[in-house]
Homo-oligomer: A and B are copies of this chain.
Amino acid sequence: MTPERLAKIRAVLDKRQPDLTVLMERVHKPHNFSAILRSCDAVGVLQAHAIPARYGIPDLEEAESLALKGKTFNETSGSAAKWVGLQIHPDTASAFAHLKSQGFQVLAAHFSERAMDYRQADYTRPTCILLGTEKWGVSPEAAELSDAHVIIPMMGMVQSLNVSVAAAVILFEAQRQRLQAGLYDQPRLSSEHYAEVLEHWIIRHARGQ
């Protein structure tokens, strides 16, 4: 590895936000899945979460490994999937249990009576943005479990945005708030965690994955 490459990897890791993430609840179109990971990479998400669209995947580790290698989700992400961790959860309840145990507020991109403008949420707190499946959106179960619902104000005839576009719009609002709050100014990972991820990334790079 060249010194320049190592410096680039470190510069990116310096900005990774362990307390900003997304949960993709059965997003099933590969180009959406990949575009969301690409936006995650761009705003510094360390690790994303997903509930697979298809039930009964026999081996969750295999699904995760495929996703990490960009082999199932490679249409638009380029190499983003390599640099954003992906944790797979078997169902909505266990995904929420995990996120809550980590102290995340979950903000569902979901229209409801209790929905607020996405710009009113505080993304400097540990935050997970929940994105639902393309056709049906967030499940009723996930909507119920979420701490708040956020919507993007729509001024036009069309009622909704593509899920990857909505994800990007919300993630870049989070980036805006976090830039203002100085959360990209110094490394956010503990030195132990930082060293672990760095080693992982260096090995991945060396393998040419």
CB <8 Å contact, B162 and A42: no
Judged by a CB distance under 8 angstroms, whether A121 is at the interface is no
Judged by a CB distance under 8 angstroms, whether A179 is at the interface is yes
CB <8 Å contact, A42 and B152: yes
- Give the oligomeric copy count: 2
B residues near A77, Cβ cutoff 8 Å? 158
B residues near A12, Cβ cutoff 8 Å? 155-157
CB <8 Å contact, A39 and B157: no
Which residues from 124 to 167 on chain A have a C-beta closer than 8 Å to any C-beta of chain B? 152-158, 161-162, 164-165
CB <8 Å contact, B80 and A158: yes
- The answer, among B40, B165, B184, for a CB contact under 8 Å with A39, is B165
CB <8 Å contact, B169 and A76: no
CB <8 Å contact, A158 and B79: yes
Q: State A153–B78 Cα separation when bound (angstroms).
A: 18
Q: State A172–B118 Cα separation when bound (angstroms).
A: 11
CB <8 Å contact, A161 and B119: no
Chain A residues with CB under 8 Å of chain B are 8-9, 12, 15, 31, 35, 38-44, 76-80, 82-84, 119, 152-158, 161-162, 164-165, 168-169, 172, 175-176, 179, 184
